[in-house]
Amino acid sequence: MPVGEAIFTQRAIRRLKPDPIDDADLEILLAAAARAPSGGNRQPWRFLVVRDQKLKDQLAEWYVDAYWARRRERGFSGPEAIPKDDSSGQAALHFSTNPENYARAPVLLFVIAEYKGADIAAACQNLMLAARALGIGSTITSIGGIHEADVHRLLGIPDGMDASCCIPIGWPEGKFGPAQRKPLREVAFLDHFGAAGPWSSD
């Protein structure tokens, strides 16, 4: 698949079939992630593929728990408090209201930062673009906060590392397609912040 098609049709996919991702596909995703650039080529990441169903079930419970703990901190008491026009919040309900939906992903793929603040986003993006190219759905989720220590203990992750980024991957039930983004003229400028560039309006 051309780079452009992958980039322009990437979107968060949460409705996943339980069908397995085979080893060869998984290796492509991991190899793509591991090729990402990093400052000083430090490659400050580790990848942990979780396929074991018991582990996934436990992680899914913690995911839902940690999600609502973060939401409550921001004043949202539960699903009914998420505004209808918060499309990201609404979409996240598929995972956050039902641990079975989360545990159903054939793979929970942790992208672990070697230390808090290490920049792992380029690795995540390579992984998700490679997934898109293979037709595999993904989205970044977070199991941090109140269950951080639990996750570390369950999976044997060393202290000091940050395992809060977890990417459920699987074959999509829905479709890929362009996601909603701000028009280019609102975010891209020429030679001075706020100055319009020669690009078209979108």
- Ranges within 99-158 binding its own copies (CB under 8 A): 112, 119, 121-122, 124-126, 128-130, 132-133, 139-140, 155-158
Q: Is 23 in the site for its own copies (CB under 8 A)?
A: yes
Measured in degrees and rounded to the nearest 5, phi and psi for residue 71 equal -65, -45
Q: Is 20 in the site for its own copies (CB under 8 A)?
A: no
Query: Least distance (Å) from its own copies to the CB of residue 55?
Result: 6
- Residues 177, 14, 87: CA angle, nearest 5 degrees: 70
Span interacting with its own copies, options 26-34, 57-65, 93-101, 169-177, rule CB under 8 A: 26-34
Could you tell me how many residues of this chain bind its own copies (CB under 8 A)?
A: 74
- Residues 126, 31, 54: CA angle, nearest 5 degrees: 90
Query: Least distance (Å) from its own copies to the CB of residue 24?
Result: 9
Q: Is 97 in the site for its own copies (CB under 8 A)?
A: no
Binding to its own copies (CB under 8 A) within 61-80 occurs at none
Could you write out the DSSP letters of every residue in 17-74? --PPPPHHHHHHHHHHHHT---GGG---EEEEEE--HHHHHHHHHHHHHHHHHHHHHT
Find the binder of its own copies among 15, 43, 150, 176 (CB under 8 A).
Answer: 43
Q: What is the DSSP letter of 162?
A: B
Cα separation, 49 vs 155, whole angstroms? 10
Binding to its own copies (CB under 8 A) within 169-198 occurs at 178-182, 184, 187-195, 197-198
The one-letter amino acid code at 140 reads I
Find the binder of its own copies among 19, 41, 83, 201 (CB under 8 A).
Answer: 41
